[in-house]
Amino acid sequence: MAESALISTPFTATSTAEDVLRGLDLTGVRAIVTGGSSGIGSETARALTAAGAEVTLAVRNTTAGDAVAEAIGKSTGRVRPRVARLDLADRAAVARFVDAWRGPLHLLINNAGVVTGGLERTREGWELQFATNHLGHFALAVGLHGALTLGASDRHGARIVSVSSTAHMRSGIDFDDLHFERRRYDPQIAYAQSKTANSLFAVEATRLWASEGIVANAVNPGGVATGLQRNFTPQQKRSLDAAEAAGVFTYKTVEQGAATTVVAAVFPAFAHSGGHYLDDGQEAYTVPNDADLAQHPHGVKEWALDPAVAERLWAVSTDLLHSRPE
């Protein structure tokens, strides 16, 4: 599907986060990176810290987070990132994190994610990948809305980066069975649904909050070997190998994987423009929902950017988070 006026940048699949930030001074920028204790999250945090940002690592494992923060401080010569506990699958833990935050927030990087090999549920009965990857980040962003508004006021804008995936092309949102209570559980489809939700969040957050100076964009970091794959079943591993063989993706380094996140976080064209999906440092072109992934490895499906679906998902997510635990 041809598309005009896509936002372009000088960066490519081989660019690193350091390339994107070269020459920029982020002194005074307060940033949160979820999942910042490993993989793409830790490299994103390192690069932002090196550029002068005040970074908080929001992590489940604070011991691992402290080790990463210490290493970042030593390697960059900057003030080491702050570490705070955050379990995105636990509503109470998200609320505690939000309640403890003080002052403005300029940059929220919703990077953390889980992959499961089988059906796992939260105590509410929610499917774990959707609950963690989407609902937890949704609750975090909504809870920090006031802090983002303050950040937008004192720096002429605040940004949210929602880390999605090529996997979004496998599934839209099944509103009739979000948590696989009736359909057969497929962990790949569940993950795909959560990644589509990450993109739709960016669409609706921008619609609701752009007038306050807050915009959100979704990014595909590309294929990076991280701890995210540790729970893959043999079937999931075979699927990943087949996708690589078909040319759907080529493995990147962690430094390259963090680059597109940083583009959405700092590139001027995205300062006041949201609801976009980025791939390899560029705004991706949109493809029909029946498009083949192997033929469009750098596209974004219509269902991941549909404003009506994004609005519905926001309403459903709000209702879920306000529901009582069973």
Q: Which residues are catalytic?
A: 191
**β-sheet bridge partners, residue 57:** 33, 83
Q: Spell out the SS3 assignment of the chain.
A: CCCCCCCCCCCCCCCCHHHHHCCCCCCCCEEEEECCCCHHHHHHHHHHHHCCCEEEEEECCHHHHHHHHHHHHHHHCCCCCEEEECCCCCHHHHHHHHHHCCCCCCEEEECCCCCCCCCCECCCCCEHHHHHHHHHHHHHHHHCHHHHHHHHHHHCCEEEEEECCHHHHHCCCCCCCCCCCCCCCCHHHHHHHHHHHHHHHHHHHHHHHHHHCEEEEEEECCCECCHHHHHCCHHHHHHHHHHHHCCCCCCECHHHHCHHHHHHHHCHHHCCCCCCEEECCEECEEECCCCCCCCCCCEEEHHHCCHHHHHHHHHHHHHHHHCCCC
